[in-house]
């Protein structure tokens, strides 16, 4: 890897946090530090609108006095601040209760292999060049269709950072990573109606970004296809979650098998391990080691090794999503998921979205969801939606101002098909998902 001087400097700082906490009496310490620099440029109606220079830094420390824990953070990396932050964490630990489950991770689980995951691809992007890209992206959107009549602009983002993590078990690691994106949002309309939609592309390597013109065109196409949207009458019908929406649906499943929700009994999937939660054709696995993956990582937020593993196999739940603490609460071992999952992949089926539309024949294709109407405790699901009404496997007209509802336990069991039109822009990768039936409320 290139120039490691800066990482070494930050490692020294993290080590000094660990040492300082030990000096103040802590029996266990975990410390982390991050630096993030970036440029964000947006253009609207053909001209630059904002130029933002980002430079964020922060440090966090957790201390253990036996089984008592305290945490503190600061965005000031000066030596005085480091010492103050440690002191603040120690003060809190003194007041916290003994918790038999708290503490550093099991030393055997700490990561010790650190292959290059190709996470760092700096973009030598000058401000002027970023402006040109944003303008080109928005121009493509505005020129796509005469009905596009206004814009929220296009934005180019480029970020690069360093993360360092250390603890008193002797773990001390750091790595660089980058993240770049292009996004565009435009409006279309007439006297009757105004619609807006967007598209974006995100990647660790700028060369993997979609062409700005394509991003703009896609934003415009998504916007104009919403024109003429109307409500539906209230009914039960099959529903397809488009790939972009499907990752959110799978996100709810992951949340329900997250250790924190499980030990708080705030999940509709308590005691679901080794039981059927999805149809038997469904597989979900985690692959933290995808080169350049947005969720790729050799270790989790505690330094615990990440795992390539099945989460759901043949529809049966194989494993929870656990940190050291939640694992101990449940009498299990950490799965390396402190801070979340790392590239969760829903195995694609044989058909693309078109194939799924044909399979559904008549029903609702959902392309946008609104609100937070998911009850993790009960699995009750009710959210605002918009999308398209489908008959004989073909899109008939856009729909809006409707809700879709059901219970997630049933929804997951009644997945009929998973598409191969995988959306790879996030930490959860899924194709479109066809559900046998949901309640749709409208006018």
Partner 1 sequence: MALLERVCDSILVPHGMQTSDVDTVMENLMSSPVDAADIYFQSSRFESWQLEDGIVKEGSHSIERGAGVRVVSGEKTGFAYSDRIELPLLLKAANNVKAIARQGQNKRCRIIAPKEWPLYYSQQDPLVGMSDQDKIDLLRMLDEKTRKMDSRIIEVMVNLSGLHEYILVANQDGSLAADIRPLVRLNVSVIMQENDRRERGSMGGGGRSDYQMFLQDDAALSYAEEAVRQARVNLEAVEAPAGNMTVVLGSGWPGILLHEAIGHGLEGDFNRKGTSAFSGKIGERVASDLCTVVDDGTLTGRRGSLNIDDEGVPTEQTVLIENGILKGYMQDKLNARLMGAQPTGNGRRESYAHLPMPRMTNTYMLAGQQHPDEIVGSVKKGLYAKNFGGGQVDITSGKFVFSASEAYLIENGKITRPVKGATLIGNGPDVLTRVSMVGNDLELDSGVGTCGKEGQSVPVGVGQPTLKIDGLTVGGTNV
116-155 residues in contact with partner 1 (CB under 8 A) are: 127, 150, 152
| Residue 162: closest CA among 294, 9, 287 | 9
Residue 187 binding partner 1, by CB under 8 A:
yes
Looking at the Cβ atoms of 43 and 111, the one nearer to partner 1 is 43
Residue 88 binding partner 1, by CB under 8 A:
yes
Shortest distance, CB of residue 369 to partner 1, whole angstroms?
Answer: 9
Shortest distance, CB of residue 170 to partner 1, whole angstroms?
Answer: 24
Looking at the Cβ atoms of 195 and 242, the one nearer to partner 1 is 195
Looking at the Cβ atoms of 319 and 403, the one nearer to partner 1 is 403
The DSSP 8-state label assigned to residue 105 in this structure reads P
Instruction: Return the residues of window 221-240 that contact partner 1 according to CB under 8 A.
Output: 226, 229, 231, 234-236
Distance separating alpha carbons of residues 120 and 117, to the nearest angstrom = 9
Looking at the Cβ atoms of 24 and 231, the one nearer to partner 1 is 231
Instruction: Return the residues of window 191-210 that contact partner 1 according to CB under 8 A.
Output: 193-196
Q: Phi and psi (nearest 5°) for 395?
A: -65, 130
Kindly give the interhelix angle for 5-23 and 79-95, rounded to the nearest 10 degrees: 40
Cβ atoms of 404 and 231 within 8 Å: the answer is no
What radius of gyration, in Å, describes the C-alpha atoms of the chain? Answer: 24
The site string for partner 1 over 389-428 (x = CB under 8 A, - otherwise) reads -----------xxxxxxxx---------------------
> Around Cβ 307, how many Cβ atoms within 10 Å?
18
Residue 76 binding partner 1, by CB under 8 A:
yes
Cβ atoms of 440 and 402 within 8 Å: the answer is yes
Q: Which segment (11-19, 45-53, 287-295, 346-354) binds partner 1 by CB under 8 A? A: 45-53
Distance separating alpha carbons of residues 287 and 366, to the nearest angstrom = 28
Distance separating alpha carbons of residues 353 and 332, to the nearest angstrom = 39
Looking at the Cβ atoms of 310 and 368, the one nearer to partner 1 is 368
The DSSP 8-state label assigned to residue 75 in this structure reads S
Among 2, 3, 95, 207, binds partner 1 (CB under 8 A): 95
Q: Reduce the DSSP state of residue 371 to 3 states and report it.
A: coil
Q: Reduce the DSSP state of residue 33 to 3 states and report it.
A: strand
Shortest distance, CB of residue 140 to partner 1, whole angstroms?
Answer: 19
Residue 219 binding partner 1, by CB under 8 A:
no
Among 1, 2, 55, 274, binds partner 1 (CB under 8 A): 55
Residue 190 binding partner 1, by CB under 8 A:
no
Shortest distance, CB of residue 42 to partner 1, whole angstroms?
Answer: 9
Token pair belonging to 5: 């001087």
Instruction: Return the residues of window 278-337 that contact partner 1 according to CB under 8 A.
Output: none
Q: CA quadruple 256, 261, 262, 266: dihedral positive or negative?
A: negative
Looking at the Cβ atoms of 4 and 73, the one nearer to partner 1 is 73
Token pair belonging to 333: 């071992």
| Residue 45: closest CA among 148, 191, 115, 170 | 148
Token pair belonging to 10: 């930050």
Q: Which segment (1-9, 65-73, 298-306, 349-357) binds partner 1 by CB under 8 A? A: 65-73
Strand-strand pairing, 344-346 and 194-203? unpaired
Among 113, 146, 192, 265, binds partner 1 (CB under 8 A): 265
Looking at the Cβ atoms of 226 and 305, the one nearer to partner 1 is 226
Q: Which segment (23-31, 82-90, 201-209, 348-356) binds partner 1 by CB under 8 A? A: 82-90
Shortest distance, CB of residue 295 to partner 1, whole angstroms?
Answer: 20
Distance separating alpha carbons of residues 229 and 386, to the nearest angstrom = 8
Instruction: Return the residues of window 361-380 that contact partner 1 according to CB under 8 A.
Output: 370-373, 375, 377-378, 380
* Residue 100: exposure state from Cβ atoms within 10 A (0-12, 13-18, ≥19): exposed
Looking at the Cβ atoms of 232 and 243, the one nearer to partner 1 is 232
Q: Phi and psi (nearest 5°) for 34?
A: -140, 150
């Amino acid at each position: 890897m290139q120039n490691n001087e800066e990482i070494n400097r930050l490692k020294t700082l993290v080590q000094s946090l660990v040492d300082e906490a030990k000096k103040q009496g802590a029996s266990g310490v975990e410390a982390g530090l991050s630096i993030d620099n970036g440029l964000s440029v947006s253009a609207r109606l053909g001209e630059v609108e904002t130029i933002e220079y980002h430079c964020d830094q922060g440090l966090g420390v957790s201390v253990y006095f036996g089984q008592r824990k305290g945490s503190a953070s600061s965005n000031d990396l000066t030596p005085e601040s480091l010492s103050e932050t440690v002191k603040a964490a120690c003060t809190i630990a003194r007041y916290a209760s003994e918790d038999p489950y708290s503490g550093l991770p099991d030393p055997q689980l700490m990561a010790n292999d650190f292959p290059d995951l190709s996470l760092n691809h700096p973009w030598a992007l000058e401000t002027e060049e970023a402006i040109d890209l944003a303008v080109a992206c928005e121009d493509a959107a505005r020129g796509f269709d005469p009905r596009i009549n206004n814009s929220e602009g296009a934005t180019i983002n480029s970020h690069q950072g360093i993360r360092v993590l250390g603890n008193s078990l002797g773990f001390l690691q750091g790595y660089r990573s980058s993240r770049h994106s292009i996004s565009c949002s435009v409006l279309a309309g007439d006297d009757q109606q105004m619609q807006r939609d967007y598209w974006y592309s995100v990647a660790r390597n700028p060369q993997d970004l979609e062409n700005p013109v394509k991003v703009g065109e896609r934003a415009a196409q998504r916007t104009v296809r919403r024109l003429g949207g109307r409500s539906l009458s209230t009914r039960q019908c099959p529903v397809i979650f488009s790939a972009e929406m499907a990752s959110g649906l799978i996100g709810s499943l992951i949340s329900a098998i997250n250790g924190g929700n499980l030990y708080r009994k705030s999940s509709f999937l308590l005691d679901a391990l080794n039981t059927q939660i999805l149809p038997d054709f469904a597989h979900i696995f985690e692959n933290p080691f995808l080169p350049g993956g947005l969720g790729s990582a050799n270790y989790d937020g505690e330094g615990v090794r990440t795992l390539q593993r099945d989460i759901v196999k043949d529809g049966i739940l194989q494993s929870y999503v656990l940190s050291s603490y939640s694992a101990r609460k449940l009498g299990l071992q950490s799965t390396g998921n402190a801070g979340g999952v790392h590239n969760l992949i829903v195995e694609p089926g044989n058909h693309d979205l078109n194939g799924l539309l044909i399979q559904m024949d008549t029903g609702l294709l959902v392309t946008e969801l609104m609100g937070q109407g998911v009850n993790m405790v009960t699995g009750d699901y009710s959210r605002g939606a918009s999308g398209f009404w489908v008959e004989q496997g073909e899109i008939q007209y856009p729909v809006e101002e409707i809700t879709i509802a059901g219970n997630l336990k049933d929804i997951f069991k009644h997945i009929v098909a998973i598409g191969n039109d995988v959306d790879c822009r996030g930490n959860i990768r899924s194709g479109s998902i066809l559900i046998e039936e949901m309640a749709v409320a409208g006018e």
